Structure 1
Amino acid sequence: MNRRGPRRNHTPLEDTVDHRPVRHLISIDDLDDADLHALVARGAAFSAGTAGRPAPLAGDVVGIYFSKTSTRTRTAFSSGSLRLGAQLISYGPDDLQLNTGESSEDTGRVMSGMLDVLVARTAGDPAEMRSWAAQDRMAVINAMSADEHPTQALTDLTTLQRRFGRIEGLRVLYLGEGNNTASALALALTRFPGVTLELRTPPGYGLAAAFRERAAEQAARSGATFHERHDMLDVPADQDVVYTTRWQTTGTTKPDPNWRQVFAPFQVTTALWEASPKAVFMHDLPAHRGDEVTAEVLDGPASIAFVQAENKMHSAMAVLEWCRRGPVPAGEHLP
């Protein structure tokens, strides 16, 4: 966690700069347990309408830079910023001089002198965002990189907190590719005692080794249970949540022309509810009915996927507030 320290060689202009601590969110691993719990609780409070009507970003300017497509995340952070009192500058994939050869480091240095927060989706190496975060003036938020989607995981935990009133002890079955959503979910859920997270991923499309090892380490520390298998045999019963994501992750392609045959057994159908009749269905969206999930499930009574999507805005508000003001103690409102 980066916090703004004393400056040297101040100019008169710099003396007018806001010196509140700045916090970056590039990975779930950037959060300690207290911050993770606080962000989930605050997102749930925004969702429930009990967070008050603070304007902690009043006077701030938030940059929204998406080099890849987005419906939910871009809208969530844009709407959330406005609701918290900020003003917006939006950049499309062709708007920055990165396209003409300016270094990532120079881009971050320039933007940090003009923005208070930068929300970015690159679907590339998170090292680029790390370079932007190598300063103490502008908060940087990862709205999805190639390996991790941390704000999606916070949305998911906010949704679970709202639905069940807790995260501890929940049983979650994830089906599909071990993509950036799965990576972030694994890093987040394994922090909570008693959680059981079972990943069923197609052969050759599992969780990256670094995330798998980190999730296993965290589970051992917290008292959670974490497993990954590459088949659909002996799927556990009595799950609280069945979760999937689209088979073709945004901004990626699969080299195997027969990949759909490998993924087919991992489709979410109503048959899963025979063993887990009380489970809710979650999906980070967009969904492709008939691929990763049937329409009967996505549009059925067990689905909370669209509630989950709405919670992306509430969770985004919690993240923005945390980056600029720090955690808000439970039951307290910001002025």
Structure 2
Amino acid sequence: MTPHHLISIDDLSDEALRHLVGRGLDYRNSVGATSHPLADQVVGIYFSKTSTRTRTAFTSGALRLGARTIAFGPHDLQTNTGESIEDTARVLNRMLDVFVMRTAGDPAEMRMFAQDRRMSVINAMSATEHPTQALTDLTTLKWRFGAIEGLRILYVGEGNNTAAALALALSRYESVSLELRTPPGYGLSEDVLDRVDPKVVVERHDMRDLPEAADVIYTTRWQTTGTDKPDPNWRDVFAPFQVTGRLWRSSPEAVFMHDLPAHRGEEVTAEVIDGPHSIVFDQAENKLHSAMAVLEWCR
């Protein structure tokens, strides 16, 4: 069987995207959780940047599916001593069945590992896209609302890799509205904007005239993992985009989502993330169920 890769949301057909969301929900509901479709397979877990949820989700998920795992830290591969990515990829393709990667680089590097097509490659976050987070988010939306179609989502904060993947994924659904309010100079890239459905995704760089009756209000941390902002005064630009309780005045029934880690008092106030509208820890749990769905689908 030719393995599947998940390096970008664009790698998924509409059918595959919906399958992964539904399968994640199955695992959330314990359907098939006792099977071991990855028995006798070996999953490499390579994280060059810090991670709590994604690394734990894929490691735990692989073990629950019957696989064995090998963990690689940022200094473990011989690429640190000058070996080419191509040579490293050739070797790992002969030893691993799945390679889960987190880097701060371009996903083109991940595609080098996928060229041999013996080993599945999963993007557990790159500089430009976080596709497994988007699958987690869609699984959470379907779990909470029963359907994704028709939802109205307000995203507040940086147009980072999480926002990019979410926009690409939601563009596949009908009657969905994703409105992003991003700080000037920190919005979605032109590359992502060219790939999303403009009928679904709208972006503004201010906090005026916020949409009413949103179903979801979503934010992420201001300092994306593995990145630095060149402007020393960037916090002043971000300050108006903090998620506070006032955002619920026009959307009193909205739930709050955050991909974590969270910095209370920066991108979100404690009253929001720890309040009755927050589903962030259900969302975090769904990262495990979504990871299991991705691992199963790749093999």
TM tier relative to shorter chain: over 0.9
**Rounded Cα–Cα distance in structure 1 between residues aligned with 2:86 and 2:216:** 41
State the match for 2:116 in structure 1: 135
State the match for 2:243 in structure 1: 268
Please state how far the C-alpha of 1:226 moved relative to its aligned partner.
1.6
Letter in 1 for 2:126: S
From 166, 183, 199, the equivalent of 2:164 is 183
State the match for 2:32 in structure 1: 51
From 30, 33, 47, the equivalent of 2:14 is 33
**Rounded Cα–Cα distance in structure 1 between residues aligned with 2:130 and 2:284:** 14
1:301 matched to 2:282: no
State the match for 1:165 in structure 2: 146
SS of equivalent to 1:199: strand
State the match for 2:2 in structure 1: 21
Please state how far the C-alpha of 1:21 moved relative to its aligned partner.
2.2
**Rounded Cα–Cα distance in structure 1 between residues aligned with 2:250 and 2:30:** 35
**Rounded Cα–Cα distance in structure 1 between residues aligned with 2:32 and 2:269:** 36
1:87 matched to 2:62: no
State the match for 1:98 in structure 2: 79
Distance 1:305 1:256, change over 3 A: same
SS of equivalent to 1:62: strand
1:279 matched to 2:241: no
CA contact (8 A) 1:26 1:129 kept: yes
Letter in 2 for 1:93: P
Taking only the aligned residue pairs, the percentage that are identical comes to 70
1:228 matched to 2:212: no
CA RMSD of aligned residues (A): 0.8
**Rounded Cα–Cα distance in structure 2 between residues aligned with 1:275 and 1:139:** 45
Please state how far the C-alpha of 1:51 moved relative to its aligned partner.
3.1
State the match for 1:66 in structure 2: 47
Please state how far the C-alpha of 1:50 moved relative to its aligned partner.
2.3
Number of residue equivalences: 299
CA contact (8 A) 1:42 1:51 kept: no
Please state how far the C-alpha of 1:161 moved relative to its aligned partner.
0.6
**Rounded Cα–Cα distance in structure 2 between residues aligned with 1:26 and 1:247:** 24
**Rounded Cα–Cα distance in structure 1 between residues aligned with 2:109 and 2:129:** 13
State the match for 2:128 in structure 1: 147
**Rounded Cα–Cα distance in structure 1 between residues aligned with 2:29 and 2:237:** 40
**Rounded Cα–Cα distance in structure 2 between residues aligned with 1:47 and 1:135:** 33
Please state how far the C-alpha of 1:213 moved relative to its aligned partner.
1.6
Please state how far the C-alpha of 1:48 moved relative to its aligned partner.
1.5
Please state how far the C-alpha of 1:98 moved relative to its aligned partner.
0.5
Letter in 2 for 1:227: V
Please state how far the C-alpha of 1:266 moved relative to its aligned partner.
0.5
CA contact (8 A) 1:44 1:314 kept: yes
- CA deviation string 1:49-107 (max 9, x = no partner): 22342211000000000000000000000000000000000000000001001111111
State the match for 1:6 in structure 2: none
Deviates more, 1:233-242 or 1:51-60: 51-60
SS of equivalent to 1:254: coil
State the match for 1:4 in structure 2: none
Letter in 1 for 2:172: R
**Rounded Cα–Cα distance in structure 1 between residues aligned with 2:49 and 2:275:** 30
CA contact (8 A) 1:63 1:119 kept: yes
SS of equivalent to 2:203: strand
TM-score by length of 2: 0.99
Please state how far the C-alpha of 1:199 moved relative to its aligned partner.
0.4
TM-score by length of 1: 0.88
SS of equivalent to 1:186: helix
- CA deviation string 1:244-264 (max 9, x = no partner): 000000011111111111001
**Rounded Cα–Cα distance in structure 2 between residues aligned with 1:113 and 1:191:** 35
State the match for 2:182 in structure 1: 201
Larger radius of gyration: 1
- CA deviation string 1:134-153 (max 9, x = no partner): 01210000000000000000
**Rounded Cα–Cα distance in structure 2 between residues aligned with 1:52 and 1:98:** 37
**Rounded Cα–Cα distance in structure 1 between residues aligned with 2:295 and 2:10:** 17
Letter in 1 for 2:53: R
Letter in 1 for 2:183: P
Ranges of 4+ aligned residues in structure 1 off by more than 4 Å: none
